[in-house]
Chains A and B, each alone.
Chain A
Amino acid sequence: MKVGQSQRSARWTDYVLRGRSNFAPFWKFYLRSQERHILFVLGLGFDPRMCSAIREILNQGGDGKRNCQLLVFDEGPDSPSKQHSDRVQQNREVLQQLLADQGSIREHELRMWSADGRRIGSRNAALVFRRIEDLSAYTDIIVDISALPRSIYFPLIGKLLSLLDGRQHNTSPPNLHVVVCESVDIDRLIHAEGIDDDATYLHGFSGGVDMEATAGIPRIWIPILGEDQAGELERIYDLVHPDEICPVLPFSSGDPRRGDNLILEYRQLLLDRFRVEPRNIIFASEKNPFEVYRELTKTVIQYCNSLSPLKGCKVVISTLSSKLLSLGALLTAYELRTLVGIAHVEVSGYVMPIVDPNILNNVSEELFEIWLVGECYAT
């Protein structure tokens, strides 16, 4: 299969991304420009960043509804996250206070496990919104992924994009925003425990990679590298069995040596076991998901075109890094969903040490707004 460059102009070539110091001014201008009916979609968790974005947006004022769909997910009785139930409760109370005079909170329970012990959270996340009518009361849907695991926000955002893209063209779509609070300090405190034995393709993002009918086609694996993910990398490798590997390193990055340090951390795995060609390494900005999207999309298309004499290729992306970088992967996988799959490994839960609240209050946080669908893209 050949993907013509001319036929494919990347959907998010022009984009709206507002981060750090531009986050609050953007929302102030946006909310005060006209009445906006907003549905916030948040995950309830122990992450201290859970309410950061919604607090900042609500602080900017404006008129209209301010409702919240709160996703309550249970990672199972054995999850190490259970030990943080007090923090979860604190976050819930903060959210209730924030919306006390402004709107309602509707809790949506996400079943994460089937009766026979299989993970079903990813599949259920795609069922949070079933029809476009579920969104009709709002002008803006804001999905805050700060406290959501990848297995939830990928199918959730994928489904929202699919609903909005599938709407009748005579109706104007609600705006779809994704917001995220990034904090290197908090990321360093939170650690995953108990990764699953097997990697899987995320629901809605299998890309037909494991179809037997096309089993002979070369497989390209693009892992977006983050720290402390060796176990995940091994398991995903076992799932994908790639013919070629193109690791993505963050550059530019807050820490200019981060890419080098990642290579040092994974040198044995990447160079000795997976035998990656150093020239295959891709660099993408740590703070710009649209650049990641652009780099990945370009890579996928180039590979498909180059390998067209071999009937094309299948591409698998794995995001083992920050949420901003992951969003770039999501956009590529959504746009090229017949070619690209997202391979992922779940974990039993996350742990965070007990930290002095003063320290938590003083960690540096960066808020980002990623506008995916809506009036800014109107032609």
Chain B
Amino acid sequence: MRDPRNPFRMRASEQIASDATFLKLFAPGVLALLPTEGLFDRLHVFQSAPGGGKTSLMRLFTPTSLLTLHAYRADEDYKDLYQHLKSMGVLDDSGPRLLGVMLSCAKNYAVLEDMELEDKRKDRLLFSLLNCRIVLAALRGALDLRRLDYPDHLGRLQLNITHELSEVLGIPLSSTGEQVYEWARKIESSICQTLDSLEPSPSLSLVGHDELYASHILRPEQVMIDGAQIADRVLIMLDDVHKLARRQRECLIRALVGFRNTASVWIAERLEALSASELLDVGAIENRDYGQIINLESFWRSPSKRFETTARDIANRRARIATDVEIESFEGCLQSTLDGAEWANKFQVALETVTSRVRETADADVDNRFREWVGTLESFEGTTREKLLAWRTAEILIEREKRKQQLTFPFPFSTEDLEKKDDSAVRAAAELFLMQKLRIPYYFGFSRLVAIASSNIEQFLAVGGDLFEEAASAALIKKPHDLPPERQQKIIQKMATHWWDSELPRRIPYSRETRILIEAIARYAYWETYKPNAPYSPGVTGIAITMADREKLRNTSFLETRPDAGRLAAVIATCLAHNILEAVPNYPQGYQFWMVMYLNRLLCVHFGLPLQYGGWRPKGIDELCRWQQGGFRPPEKGEHLL
């Protein structure tokens, strides 16, 4: 394959064939999401929207990645990552200490459910297919760990299994890798041929298993090569578990929970915030049967700089490997200030307008409450842009106070009052209002690019890729490659519009209904955000339903009586699964728990909304059902927008 011209276009894991490139691009900060205790002692569940980074994380622990990392451990690009993994006991100076077995559940497992067989027999076939595939992947991984050829050197592998297993599976107590390979290959081949057969009836001779025996076969002390134990630990990683049929997923999780401290298993699946939690359904107990469920997006959202730091590392690593240009820092490609001379005039004109408007409002106040504020603002030192922002912030605060006048005594406000009320949220609202009114860039700079990524690495790479494309082109023809704010905003807005207009309708189910609901939420958020007093500054970017309503949307008997709610539940589930809405469940507020659903930040760009989180409004199922059918319409006697 060709060398990467724009490395941002390579997807995190799937499209990077070389382990060395994959590791070079892997930001060690990602490892912070792994629990510090019991990492290899119990079942861990990783959930995220597509592109969240689950597969990349698992790939890191596969034998070829670990071997490559070990080989490059002295290289600057790999040193940090090596030290991180070393501290986790995954490898040391002698080499990898862990045999990671990664298997995707996106294969043909779900087809088993379509066979004309009893459920019990289907489960047995699911287990046997999983067993033989895990074992086959482990055999390959074991040879990789010793840099031996697969399957040619399987004879050097030895697996010692227990009497019981030997009898159940028909494998000798002490088998060579070749014998185990043949056993697993035959089972897999017969089941796959049956699954793909154009004939209707399945073969009766198919081998089924009662349990997930693979974890017992692969105990670290039982897997030897040339007489020596191959690794201290064996880690089984099952990716894309959500792609199993619902019943299979329950069956698998029940089996995995039953392992309890006998095997290291990680599973990764897409976030399904509205579907039943199989872990809870099978009666599993957190920290006993399984570790904490790790939601990748939630992890990145808090604390707020965590994602930014990792994203910066990811971006710089990619920028550095571009073939045609030399760009050391991606952040350096993005101008992050509007204090240049080209904006000064525009700000000056705007400043005069806003200043005279605030003065007029202050003069019109019969109680002269804002006179001191005007004085303070007039003596404010700073650039024109900073002054403009200060005056516009004060205008919002005055508007708020005017609305309170019926309820408060009309005492004049002091400078201290202004300082107290002038917080970052109001200033952010003022900046947004100015952007909207003066048409000056708002969506630019590295920090905002990170915010636009909605805590999703793939989305970050997609938006960053478009920006890098332009910067790299400029660098190629020896022009300055730091993109000005207005160009950045144009590129980002173009991408957001393309996503909304062209990508979403093609790529998701219920696309028509989804667009109606999302547009309703966005229009409602816009209506709330741009009220002159910015009541939920910096703005509204989400809605919330109570957790009780969420339960209703998961309750099939309720949904049967309310087809409109059924449609709503399906659309919301689609939005959450595709990261169109970002869910924050169990958010406590006002004696209730809520499931907050924020718009994806790329949609905030499309609809001209702020990028900060926190601004959400409660909604009921009935109202959302109405939005789902007819969209959002602001009240006729509502307030004028800015």
Q: Which A residues are closer than 8 A to B by beta carbons?
A: 78, 80, 114, 116, 118, 120, 123, 126-127, 130, 155, 158-159, 162, 192-198, 200-201, 203-206, 208, 210-213, 215-216, 228, 231, 237-239, 241, 243-245, 268, 271-277, 348
Q: A130-B200, A274-B15 are in contact. Are A114 and B114 (CB under 8 A)?
A: yes
- Name the residue of chain A whose CB is nearest to the CB of B510: A78
The answer to whether the Cβ of B614 comes within 8 Å of any Cβ in the partner chain is no
B479 at interface (Cβ–Cβ under 8 A)? Answer: no
With A159-B198, A206-B108, A273-B10 already in contact, the answer to whether A212 and B510 are too (CB < 8 A) is no
Please state if B14 and A238 are interface contacts (CB–CB under 8 Å): yes
Residue among B3, B108, B507 making CB contact with A195, cutoff 8 Å: B507
A71–B193 Cα gap in the complex (Å)? 27
In angstroms, Cα B111 to Cα A238, docked, is: 19
**A215 CB, nearest partner CB in chain B, Å:** 7
Provide 25 A-B residue pairs closer than 8 Å at the C-beta atoms, listed in order of the A residue: A78-B509, A78-B510, A116-B113, A126-B198, A162-B198, A192-B506, A194-B506, A194-B510, A197-B577, A200-B108, A203-B111, A208-B189, A208-B193, A208-B196, A211-B192, A212-B103, A213-B181, A215-B140, A216-B140, A231-B506, A237-B14, A268-B9, A271-B2, A273-B10, A275-B1
Chain B: CB-nearest residue to A83: B512
Stretch from B239-247, B414-422, B532-540 at the A interface: B239-247
Give the contact stretch, choosing among B131-139, B362-370, B375-383: B131-139
Q: How far is the CA of A116 from the CA of B249 in the complex (A)?
A: 12
> Given the complex of chains A and B, what is the CA–CA distance between A204 and B246 in angstroms?
23
Determine if B507 and A231 form an interchain contact, defined as CB atoms under 8 angstroms apart: yes
> A212 contacts B11, CB within 8 Å?
no
Let me know if B133 and A204 touch, CB within 8 A.
no
**Minimum CB–CB distance for B423 against chain A, Å:** 42
In the assembled complex, the Cα of A104 lies from the Cα of B511 at a distance in Å of 39
Which B residues touch A271, using CB under 8 A?
2, 5
Query: In the bound complex, what is the Cα–Cα distance between A196 and B106 (angstroms)?
Result: 13
Chain A residue nearest to B246 in the complex (CB): A116
Contact of B200 among A127, A237, A273 (CB under 8 A): A127
B200 contacts which chain A residues (CB < 8 A)? Answer: 126-127, 130
B503/A210 in contact, CB under 8 A: no
Which of A208, A212, A275: most chain B CB closer than 10 A?
A212
Which chain A positions have C-beta within 8 A of B246? Answer: 116
9 smallest beta-carbon distances between A and B, as pairs:
A272-B9, A275-B1, A212-B133, A213-B185, A212-B136, A206-B196, A275-B2, A273-B9, A204-B198
Cα–Cα distance between A277 and B189 once the two chains are bound (Å)? 33
Chain A residues closer than 8 Å to B196, beta-carbon distance: 201, 203-206, 208
Instruction: Output the least CB separation between B56 and chain A (Å).
Output: 13
Determine whether the beta carbon of B197 is less than 8 Å from that of A204: yes
State in angstroms the CA–CA spacing of A35 and B245 once bound together. Answer: 50
B506 CB to nearest chain A CB (Å): 5
Candidates B3, B188, B508; contact of A212 at CB < 8 Å? B188
Between A118, A120, A210, A213, the greatest number of chain B beta carbons within 10 A of the residue's beta carbon is seen for A213
The distance in angstroms between the C-alpha atoms of A368 and B533, with both chains bound, is 68
Is B137 a contact partner of A116 (Cβ separation < 8 A)? no
Complex contact B114–A206 (CB within 8 A) = no
A80 engages B192 (CB within 8 Å): no
Contact A194/B2 with A118-B110, A204-B196, A204-B198 known, Cβ cut-off 8 Å: no
Given contacts A204-B196, A213-B136, contact A275 B108 (CB under 8 A): no
Given contacts A208-B189, A241-B14, 4 further A-B contacts (CB under 8 A): A200-B108, A201-B108, A272-B5, A272-B9
- Give the complex CA separation of A262 and B64 in angstroms: 36
| Smallest beta-carbon distance A131→chain B, Å | 10
Measured CB to CB, the closest approach of chain B to A165, in angstroms, equals 11
Q: Are B17 and A198 in contact (CB-based, < 8 A)? A: no
> Is A210 within 8 A of B510, CB to CB?
no
- Interface flags for B92-126 (1: CB within 8 Å of A; 0: not) read 00000000000100111011011000000000000
Considering only residues 161-188 of chain B, those with a C-beta below 8 Å from chain A are 181, 184-185, 188
